[in-house]
Amino acid sequence: MKEISIIIPTYNSELTVEKTVLSILNQDGPANFEIICVDDGSTDGTWDKLRKLRTQNSEVSCFRQTNQKQAAARNNGLTHASGKYIMFADADDYWLPGTLEAVVQNLSSELTIFGIEKDYNTVTIVETKSGMAGSKTRNELITNYLTNNLEMDVGVWNKVFSKAIIDEYHLSFSNGNFFEDSLFVMKYLVHVNPNNISYVEMPLYVLNKHENTTTSQFSPDIVPRAEKYISEVSRILKRQGLTINQQQKIIEGLNCRLSLHISHHYMRYAPNWTAKWQKEFLQTKLTNGQIIKNGTIPKKYRVAWLLLVHFPKVYRKLYVNQKPQV
């Protein structure tokens, strides 16, 4: 049995996957790990790259499937994983030196979260302070995760998961290109003791924010995917012993965050975005009163919502101008 299984889904990644794998293999420090690459029906030279890496490195194994998207590839990887702990990486990202050492030092935790670097064309943005840090109870942990998260919180690639928890509760990824990471993390968190989470507040994973990723191209699927995500979260919350009012406040907070996320996606990538569409979209989600009165929503998001409802053109100009270019 391996100590750590690192699962890497690949799709047309021949230009980047070798860097990803080598960034893991070249880590210092003792660790008994395996790298499981699952190719999701690539049409370029990715599979040949993977076979070469497997031949040269005993830690690497690779599997092939028809194109079913990233969630299915990760689930496939989980079926082959023998490690006590599970990690994920994307085939166009990479680990920084010191990652494996930090992972090994925190293997006694039910969950380890470390910081990330987001690498844009023009700037690098670092996230190291989780929105969940300081949560004392599971309800507080879940509320903070759903309403006060950063990108480092909702991704799976900067975390160490317990295989025992994944297996016991039959956790898997739902197929789709939006929010599958967020939902997997949510399903995992409800089985974790908030006091047994390790936060490594240093950037160790580099997230490549380039123009060819799924989330950097316009997709109208983002709206039904968000609705499905909210529906799944609502179902999970009902089993957590929360009052109806608590559930409602959390869902309103999540709806606020997702609606802002969708609005930003449309602002940047939708050719038919209009101020009229923006106002109508937000007004179908929540009222201004709900936003103002909901104490789970951080102030910055309440302000963003109100600005976006009443001054959408000004907001869009400010947002697009300050957002790093992929």
Which tens digits make up the pLDDT trace of 84-113? 999 999 999 999 999 999 999 999 999 999
pLDDT of residue 215: 56
Hey, is 115 helix, strand or coil?
strand
Question: What is the average pLDDT score of the chain?
Answer: 93
Residue pLDDT, tens place only, 18-67: 999 999 999 987 779 999 999 999 999 999 999 999 999 999 999 999 99
Lowest mean per-residue pLDDT among 44-48, 213-217, 283-287: 213-217
28-37, 74-83, 208-217, 236-245: segment of lowest average pLDDT: 208-217
| Residue whose pair of structure tokens reads 């789970």 in the numeric block | 296
Length of the chain: 326
Predicted pLDDT of residue 321: 79
**pLDDT above 90 (res 320):** no
> What does the pLDDT read at residue 210?
74
* Single pTM value for the model: 0.93
Strands 111-119, 85-88: pairing kind: unpaired
Evaluate if residue 214 carries a pLDDT over 60: no
Q: Which residues of 99-108 are buried (b: 16+ CB within 10 A; e: fewer)?
A: bbebbbebee
The token pair that represents 147 in the structure block:
């309403």
Is the pLDDT assigned to residue 118 strictly greater than 60?
yes
